[in-house]
Protein backbone atom coordinates (compact mmCIF):
# COMPACT_ATOMS: atom_id res chain seq x y z
CA UNK A 1 0.00 0.00 0.00
CA UNK A 2 2.20 2.82 1.29
CA UNK A 3 5.93 2.88 0.48
CA UNK A 4 8.00 1.70 3.46
CA UNK A 5 10.42 4.59 3.02
CA UNK A 6 7.51 7.00 3.39
CA UNK A 7 6.23 5.21 6.49
CA UNK A 8 9.72 5.40 7.98
CA UNK A 9 9.69 9.17 7.52
CA UNK A 10 6.59 9.21 9.73
CA UNK A 11 8.36 7.32 12.52
CA UNK A 12 7.41 3.88 11.24
CA UNK A 13 8.53 1.08 13.56
CA UNK A 14 9.16 -2.50 12.47
CA UNK A 15 7.45 -5.08 14.67
CA UNK A 16 7.81 -8.86 14.58
CA UNK A 17 5.10 -11.35 15.43
CA UNK A 18 5.25 -15.12 15.78
CA UNK A 19 2.63 -17.42 14.27
CA UNK A 20 -0.44 -17.13 16.47
CA UNK A 21 0.49 -13.82 18.11
CA UNK A 22 -2.32 -11.38 18.76
CA UNK A 23 -1.70 -8.02 17.07
CA UNK A 24 -4.77 -6.28 18.39
CA UNK A 25 -7.96 -7.36 20.05
CA UNK A 26 -11.68 -6.85 19.45
CA UNK A 27 -12.96 -4.03 21.63
CA UNK A 28 -9.63 -2.19 21.91
CA UNK A 29 -9.08 1.41 20.87
CA UNK A 30 -7.20 1.65 17.56
CA UNK A 31 -3.95 3.54 17.96
CA UNK A 32 -1.82 2.51 14.97
CA UNK A 33 -1.77 1.98 11.24
CA UNK A 34 -0.47 -1.51 10.40
CA UNK A 35 1.09 -2.67 7.13
CA UNK A 36 2.52 -6.11 6.37
CA UNK A 37 6.14 -6.31 5.21
CA UNK A 38 6.18 -10.09 5.25
CA UNK A 39 3.95 -12.83 6.57
CA UNK A 40 0.21 -13.29 6.83
CA UNK A 41 -2.43 -11.85 9.16
CA UNK A 42 -6.06 -12.76 9.71
CA UNK A 43 -8.80 -10.73 11.30
CA UNK A 44 -11.33 -12.80 13.17
CA UNK A 45 -14.19 -12.95 15.66
CA UNK A 46 -15.43 -15.64 17.98
CA UNK A 47 -19.12 -16.10 18.58
CA UNK A 48 -20.72 -16.93 21.93
CA UNK A 49 -20.02 -20.64 21.46
CA UNK A 50 -16.38 -20.04 20.54
CA UNK A 51 -16.82 -20.61 16.80
CA UNK A 52 -14.36 -18.57 14.76
CA UNK A 53 -15.32 -16.29 11.87
CA UNK A 54 -12.49 -15.00 9.68
CA UNK A 55 -13.19 -11.48 8.40
CA UNK A 56 -10.29 -11.62 5.98
CA UNK A 57 -6.72 -12.75 5.48
CA UNK A 58 -4.10 -10.16 4.62
CA UNK A 59 -0.76 -10.59 2.87
CA UNK A 60 2.48 -8.78 2.03
CA UNK A 61 2.14 -5.03 1.36
CA UNK A 62 -1.44 -4.95 2.57
CA UNK A 63 -2.72 -2.88 5.46
CA UNK A 64 -5.47 -3.88 7.86
CA UNK A 65 -7.48 -2.44 10.71
CA UNK A 66 -7.74 1.15 9.44
CA UNK A 67 -11.54 1.62 9.32
CA UNK A 68 -11.97 2.01 13.10
CA UNK A 69 -9.03 4.44 13.04
CA UNK A 70 -10.99 6.80 10.83
CA UNK A 71 -14.30 6.61 12.64
CA UNK A 72 -13.06 6.53 16.24
CA UNK A 73 -14.58 3.20 17.08
CA UNK A 74 -13.10 0.19 18.81
CA UNK A 75 -11.85 -2.76 16.76
CA UNK A 76 -14.74 -4.99 15.61
CA UNK A 77 -12.40 -8.00 15.38
CA UNK A 78 -9.02 -9.40 16.43
CA UNK A 79 -5.88 -9.38 14.28
CA UNK A 80 -3.71 -12.49 14.58
CA UNK A 81 -0.49 -13.46 12.77
CA UNK A 82 -1.03 -16.75 10.92
CA UNK A 83 2.66 -17.08 10.03
CA UNK A 84 5.69 -15.37 11.54
CA UNK A 85 5.22 -11.81 10.30
CA UNK A 86 7.04 -8.52 10.03
CA UNK A 87 4.85 -5.42 10.20
CA UNK A 88 5.50 -1.72 9.95
CA UNK A 89 3.48 0.41 12.31
CA UNK A 90 2.89 4.16 12.62
CA UNK A 91 0.78 6.05 15.13
CA UNK A 92 -2.70 7.27 14.26
CA UNK A 93 -1.60 10.93 14.43
CA UNK A 94 1.35 10.35 12.14
CA UNK A 95 -0.86 8.38 9.76
CA UNK A 96 -3.42 11.17 9.49
CA UNK A 97 -0.58 13.66 9.02
CA UNK A 98 0.87 11.46 6.26
CA UNK A 99 -2.53 11.35 4.55
CA UNK A 100 -2.93 15.10 4.72
CA UNK A 101 0.46 15.64 3.08
CA UNK A 102 0.03 12.97 0.38
CA UNK A 103 -3.27 13.25 -1.44
CA UNK A 104 -2.41 10.33 -3.76
CA UNK A 105 -2.33 8.08 -0.70
CA UNK A 106 -5.90 9.13 0.12
CA UNK A 107 -7.02 7.78 -3.21
CA UNK A 108 -5.09 4.56 -2.61
CA UNK A 109 -6.83 4.19 0.75
CA UNK A 110 -10.21 4.86 -0.86
CA UNK A 111 -9.54 2.18 -3.48
CA UNK A 112 -8.41 -0.29 -0.85
CA UNK A 113 -11.47 0.29 1.34
CA UNK A 114 -13.69 0.05 -1.73
CA UNK A 115 -12.14 -3.28 -2.64
CA UNK A 116 -12.72 -4.66 0.82
CA UNK A 117 -16.27 -3.34 0.93
CA UNK A 118 -16.88 -5.01 -2.40
CA UNK A 119 -15.66 -8.34 -1.02
CA UNK A 120 -17.85 -7.96 2.05
CA UNK A 121 -20.90 -7.15 -0.07
CA UNK A 122 -20.42 -10.18 -2.26
CA UNK A 123 -19.76 -12.52 0.65
CA UNK A 124 -22.59 -11.10 2.76
CA UNK A 125 -25.11 -11.96 0.07
CA UNK A 126 -23.52 -15.37 -0.42
CA UNK A 127 -23.30 -16.27 3.24
CA UNK A 128 -26.81 -15.16 4.02
CA UNK A 129 -28.65 -16.82 1.24
CA UNK A 130 -26.79 -19.37 -0.82
CA UNK A 131 -26.16 -23.09 -0.35
CA UNK A 132 -22.77 -24.29 0.95
CA UNK A 133 -21.40 -25.32 -2.45
CA UNK A 134 -22.20 -21.92 -3.91
CA UNK A 135 -20.60 -20.17 -0.94
CA UNK A 136 -17.42 -22.22 -1.13
CA UNK A 137 -17.08 -21.77 -4.89
CA UNK A 138 -17.64 -18.02 -4.68
CA UNK A 139 -15.06 -17.65 -1.94
CA UNK A 140 -12.58 -19.65 -4.02
CA UNK A 141 -13.23 -17.60 -7.16
CA UNK A 142 -13.02 -14.33 -5.32
CA UNK A 143 -9.79 -15.41 -3.62
CA UNK A 144 -8.24 -16.40 -6.94
CA UNK A 145 -9.03 -12.92 -8.25
CA UNK A 146 -7.75 -11.05 -5.21
CA UNK A 147 -5.02 -13.17 -3.65
CA UNK A 148 -1.92 -14.38 -5.32
CA UNK A 149 -2.80 -18.04 -5.63
CA UNK A 150 -0.35 -19.92 -7.83
CA UNK A 151 -1.49 -21.13 -11.23
CA UNK A 152 -0.29 -24.71 -11.80
CA UNK A 153 -1.04 -27.25 -14.52
CA UNK A 154 -4.06 -28.53 -12.61
CA UNK A 155 -5.39 -24.98 -12.14
CA UNK A 156 -5.12 -22.40 -9.34
CA UNK A 157 -3.96 -23.94 -6.09
CA UNK A 158 -6.40 -22.87 -3.38
CA UNK A 159 -4.09 -22.12 -0.51
CA UNK A 160 -6.68 -22.48 2.26
CA UNK A 161 -7.36 -25.32 4.65
CA UNK A 162 -10.91 -26.68 4.76
CA UNK A 163 -11.18 -25.15 8.21
CA UNK A 164 -10.20 -21.71 6.90
CA UNK A 165 -12.77 -21.94 4.14
CA UNK A 166 -15.30 -22.84 6.79
CA UNK A 167 -14.33 -19.90 8.98
CA UNK A 168 -14.48 -17.52 5.99
CA UNK A 169 -17.88 -18.75 4.83
CA UNK A 170 -19.50 -19.51 8.16
CA UNK A 171 -19.67 -23.25 7.50
CA UNK A 172 -18.41 -26.19 9.55
CA UNK A 173 -15.36 -28.15 8.36
CA UNK A 174 -17.35 -31.27 7.59
CA UNK A 175 -19.76 -29.26 5.48
CA UNK A 176 -16.87 -27.69 3.58
CA UNK A 177 -15.26 -31.10 3.01
CA UNK A 178 -18.52 -32.50 1.68
CA UNK A 179 -19.16 -29.43 -0.47
CA UNK A 180 -15.69 -29.63 -2.00
CA UNK A 181 -16.10 -33.35 -2.70
CA UNK A 182 -19.42 -32.69 -4.37
CA UNK A 183 -17.99 -29.81 -6.41
CA UNK A 184 -15.19 -32.12 -7.53
CA UNK A 185 -17.75 -34.70 -8.69
CA UNK A 186 -19.51 -32.00 -10.70
CA UNK A 187 -16.18 -31.07 -12.27
CA UNK A 188 -16.12 -27.56 -10.77
CA UNK A 189 -12.75 -28.17 -9.12
CA UNK A 190 -10.04 -30.78 -8.69
CA UNK A 191 -8.64 -32.49 -5.61
CA UNK A 192 -5.09 -33.76 -6.06
CA UNK A 193 -3.69 -35.42 -2.95
CA UNK A 194 -6.00 -33.39 -0.75
CA UNK A 195 -5.07 -30.06 -2.30
CA UNK A 196 -7.84 -28.14 -4.06
CA UNK A 197 -7.35 -26.76 -7.58
CA UNK A 198 -9.69 -24.58 -9.59
Partner DNA sequence: TATTTTATATGATTTAAGTCATAAAATGCA
Partner DNA sequence: TGCATTTTATGACTTAAATCATATAAAATA
Q: Catalog residues that contact DNA under the rule CB under 7 A.
A: 49, 51, 131-132, 161-163, 170-175, 177-178, 180-181, 191, 193-194
Strand segments, DSSP code E, in the chain are: 13-17, 22-24, 32-38, 41-46, 52-58, 63-64, 78-81, 85-91, 151-152, 155-156, 190-192, 195-197
Considering only residues 95 through 134, tell me which ones interact with a second copy, judged by CB under 8 A: 99-100, 103, 106-107, 109-111, 113-118, 120-125, 127-130, 134
Shortest Å distance, C-beta 4 to a second copy: 22
Nearer to DNA, 88 or 140 (CB): 140
Nearer to DNA, 94 or 190 (CB): 190
Nearer to a second copy, 42 or 197 (CB): 42
Using alpha carbons, select from 117, 72, 66 the residue that is nearest to residue 95: 66
Q: Which residues of 131-161 are buried (b: 16+ CB within 10 A; e: fewer)?
A: ebbebbbbbbebbbeeeebeeeeebbbbebe
- Helix, strand, or coil (residue 94): helix
Residues binding a second copy (CB under 8 A)? 43, 45, 47-49, 51, 53, 55, 66-71, 73, 76-77, 99-100, 103, 106-107, 109-111, 113-118, 120-125, 127-130, 134, 169-170
Amino acid sequence: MIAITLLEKYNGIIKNYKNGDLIFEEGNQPLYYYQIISGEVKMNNYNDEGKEFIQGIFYKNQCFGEPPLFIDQVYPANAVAVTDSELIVITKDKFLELLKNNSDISLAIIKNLSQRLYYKSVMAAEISSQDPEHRVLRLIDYSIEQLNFKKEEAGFLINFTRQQIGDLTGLRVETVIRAIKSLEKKGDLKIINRKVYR
